[in-house]
A and B are shown apart, each in its own frame.
Chain A
Amino acid sequence: MFDSEMIALVAQAFGESIFMTVASSIMAYVIGLPMGFILVASEEGGIAPMPMVNKILGAVVNFFRSIPFLILLVAIMPFTQAIVGTVIGAKAATVVLVVAAAPFVARMVETSLKEVDRGVIEAAESMGATPFEIMRKVLLPEAMPSLLLGSSIVTTTILAYSAMAGFCGGGGLGAIAINYGYYRGDRVIMWVMVVLIVLIVAVLQSAGIYISKKKDKRL
């Protein structure tokens, strides 16, 4: 069952899963982090109130957040095709993961930033800081421990999604679990994949908590 061929296959899938998770997480933050900042800054009583921007962005985020991942995966196939030239494999899955995770990241970031004491922002305003300076020099550093904790939740969620993408030719550990465990009925391989995924989640989670604690100067 676990011959060298199979082990090579699992190793490759493991790499694919890590690649999908890391690449999608980074891309999701590239898009979602600024979105989270805009959501917080533009809301009523925020540091740069823009009610229209806030409403529209909020609606877009909610729209993409409400679409079940598997449906989104199928629905945006033309978009995926246009971006990476294929709709199967880890690369294609990454595109879908980014589209699914970016709005999620935006909300996570928004929640973290809102934890920053309004008074500290007021103090920065009283010193003559611009809204951008407040975002970069007050909100970002002050919310950092919470943002890091959030990022470990985001990456584990992306990993879970990536396993789902395996159903549709997305590659990675999820694909092996589906192809061998489900279609061929090989429960052992399926459970091995499950354990591997759980291990990755555990590592990501504790790394996030560890770094967040280490960074937090409030304790």
Chain B
Amino acid sequence: MEQNQTIISLKGITKTFSTRNGTVEALKGIDLDIKRGEIFGIIGLSGAGKSTLVRCINLLERPDGGSVVINDTDLMSLSASGLREKRREIGMIFQQFHLLMQKTALENVCFPMEIAKVPKADAKKRAEELLEMVGLADRMYSYPAQLSGGQKQRVAIARALAMSPQVLLCDEATSALDPNTTKGVLELLKEINRKMGITVIIITHEMKVIREICHRVAIISDGAIAELGKVEEVFRAPKTDAGRALVFHEGDSREGYDGPMERCYRIVFDESNSNEPLLGSMMIECGAPVNILAANTRSIEGKVYGQMLIQLPKDAALREKMIANLRAKDILVEEVDHV
């Protein structure tokens, strides 16, 4: 599989909604290239425009401007029937699953094939295989109401894969699930990406989902892409306020330190040096203490990263010495003016 081939190319996507309180610019010119075979995360706080963006990829929401090119086809230029045809190459799953409540799991998975006029017997056979793959071989004749949230999402995944799509769009697919179930569903998505080579695009507001399975991530804020890059890079050194808000606002204990602070630094260390008492030895070597404001460790794609927010002494020379000491230990140090 050619890893660097672009499968989806969004250029200058804009979308404005008119509401009772005036117009809302949901997307302000989004450019995004998604590579074949990758798991791409789009993260943002609610209202950032990420759900609108994912709907623009299969034109459930038609952008006001820009172009959506998938596999060299410009979706905006397609006729209604051409677009319907193309949509079969793009599977989609949703936060609320959106299964047909009056149909069994098996009938739900058969549904896209029924629409595509796949012969009934073939459709049933494929649906059975897919349900087996997602681990629901024994629930084929259950109705959605008889299934748990995780099981419903598995049915939805099987349904999305029925037409062998090249792309799978996941719109907050795990947001309605508990942490354990989320893990299982994410594992399944990872497996689908690895085994079938399907490009997966994940929309989420949870950093942990991105950390768990994404290769690259785009942080979207206020209708624009704030940051874009490999997950570990964006996590290690978020450059924008939006990025920092998402990366730091999760699970670390810094609530008491909100607001502007002086002489505040963020240090990030990885596996190679996380086992050593780096900060301790720095303090001994420099002969002065530092104030630790927050600390945590995370694992991104199997690698452990740790980060700390520290406040250094007032003495500028001493401060320089400490920073140099840490940098010499291969630790990323950056000044932050806002904790």
Residues of A at the B interface (CB closer than 8 Å) are: 117, 119-120, 122-130, 133, 137-138, 141-142, 144-145, 215-219
Whether A117 touches B98, Cβ cut-off 8 Å, given contacts A126-B60, A126-B92, A127-B163, is yes
Residue in contact with A120 in the complex, picked from B81, B86, B92, B100, CB distance below 8 Å: B100
Which 6 residue pairs of A and B lie closest in terms of their CB atoms, listed nearest first?
A: A128-B84, A123-B98, A119-B98, A128-B87, A217-B143, A127-B112
Residues of B at the A interface (CB closer than 8 Å) are: 58, 60, 81, 83-88, 90, 92, 94, 96, 98-103, 111-112, 114-116, 143-145, 163, 169
Q: Please state if A120 and B84 are interface contacts (CB–CB under 8 Å).
A: no
Q: Please state if A129 and B102 are interface contacts (CB–CB under 8 Å).
A: no
Chain B residues whose C-beta falls within 8 Å of the C-beta of A120 in the assembled complex = 98-101
Chain A residues whose C-beta falls within 8 Å of the C-beta of B102 in the assembled complex = 141-142, 144-145, 215-218
- A4 to B27 CA separation, bound complex (whole angstroms): 80
- A145 to B145 CA separation, bound complex (whole angstroms): 15
Q: Please state if A141 and B84 are interface contacts (CB–CB under 8 Å).
A: no
- A37 to B87 CA separation, bound complex (whole angstroms): 25
Chain A residues whose C-beta falls within 8 Å of the C-beta of B114 in the assembled complex = 137
- CB closest residue in chain B, given A130: B84
Which of B84, B85, B102 is the most central at the interface, judged by chain A CB atoms within 10 Å of its CB?
A: B102
Whether A142 touches B101, Cβ cut-off 8 Å, given contacts A127-B163, A133-B115, A137-B115, is yes
- CB closest residue in chain B, given A123: B98
Chain A residues whose C-beta falls within 8 Å of the C-beta of B144 in the assembled complex = 217
22 contacts between A and B (CB under 8 A): A117-B98, A120-B98, A120-B99, A123-B94, A126-B60, A126-B87, A126-B169, A127-B87, A127-B112, A127-B115, A128-B85, A128-B86, A128-B88, A130-B81, A130-B84, A138-B100, A141-B100, A142-B101, A215-B102, A217-B102, A217-B145, A218-B101
- A185 to B37 CA separation, bound complex (whole angstroms): 85
Say how far A123's CB is from chain B's closest CB, in angstroms: 4
Given A120-B99, A122-B60, A128-B116, 19 new contacts (CB under 8 A): A120-B98, A123-B98, A125-B87, A126-B90, A126-B169, A127-B163, A128-B87, A128-B88, A128-B112, A128-B115, A141-B102, A141-B103, A215-B102, A216-B102, A217-B101, A217-B102, A217-B144, A218-B102, A218-B143
Say how far B134's CB is from chain A's closest CB, in angstroms: 17
- A123 to B102 CA separation, bound complex (whole angstroms): 15
